[in-house]
Amino acid sequence: MTERGTTVKDAARDFDFWMGKWRVENKRLMKRLAGCTEWEEFTATCRAWPLPGGIGNYDEFVPDTWRPGFVGMSLRIFNPDTKLWSIYWVDNKVGILQPPVVGGFENGIGIFEGPDEFDGKPIVVRFTWSGISAKSACWEQVFSVDEGKTWETNWVMMISRMPE
């Protein structure tokens, strides 16, 4: 059993809901960590697939019109020893696999955190998955410059399942 009362096999299935095709309504802060209050909104399509052997999954994120040609990808790997997920991000504009955020789900909410860098300064990044159902979910990204004392929300996705 894990600390949250589920088996390792159960924890390895935390992202099963995510497999398939999704419509993503994005709200993204125009300038991060700059006191900005202006948001841009755009839609995207996301499709997720499992990796072989139950080791995780990956998805592709393709905006409809935002940043023409932009494609992003998340890679999620489950560690059966720690019972934690590592989530990596890469896109075709930066071309660098970002450091992972690491965590898991408790009471239907997924929290994943990790150190990163923004404009040459160290930050902590947190992804939160919430409101998860067979037809919808919410994803949020926040940054902290003070080791988690305060957070700036800079990207929110309201996600709804699309027919296959």
Write out pLDDT tens, residues 68-84: 999 999 999 999 999 99
1 lies in a domain? no
What mean pLDDT do residues 94-103 have? Answer: 96
Has residue 2 been placed in a domain? Answer: no
Give, in order, the Cα–Cα distances in Å from 112 to each of 18, 44, 67, 97, 124. 16, 22, 26, 17, 10
Helix/strand/coil for 66: coil
For residue 94, being part of any structural domain is answered with: yes
In a domain, 101, yes or no: yes
CATH of the domain at 47: 2.40.128.20
C-alpha dihedral sign at 25, 45, 115, 86: positive
Would 34 be classed as within a structural domain? no
- Tell me, yes or no, whether 58 lies in a domain: yes
Mean pLDDT over the full length of the chain: 94
Rounded Cα gap, residues 32 and 35, in angstroms: 7
Domain count of the fold of the chain: 1
Residue 99 maps to a domain: yes
Position 7 confidence tier, pLDDT thresholds 50, 70, 90 = low
Burial label, 129 (beta-carbon count in 10 A; 0-12, 13-18, 19+): buried
The pTM assigned to this predicted structure is: 0.92
Give percent of the chain with pLDDT exceeding 70.
Answer: 95
Contact 158, 25 (CB under 8 A): yes
Q: What is the mean pLDDT of residues 120-140?
A: 97
What are the φ and ψ backbone dihedral angles of 8, each rounded to 5 degrees?
-60, -40
Tokens of residue 40, six digits: 């841009």
The pLDDT score that the predictor gives to residue 5 is 47
The residue segments making up the domain with residue 138 are 8-29+41-161
The pLDDT tens digits for 13-65 are 999 999 999 999 999 999 999 999 999 999 999 999 999 998 999 999 999 99
Gap between the Cα atoms of 9 and 16, Å rounded: 12
* Domain membership flag for residue 154: yes
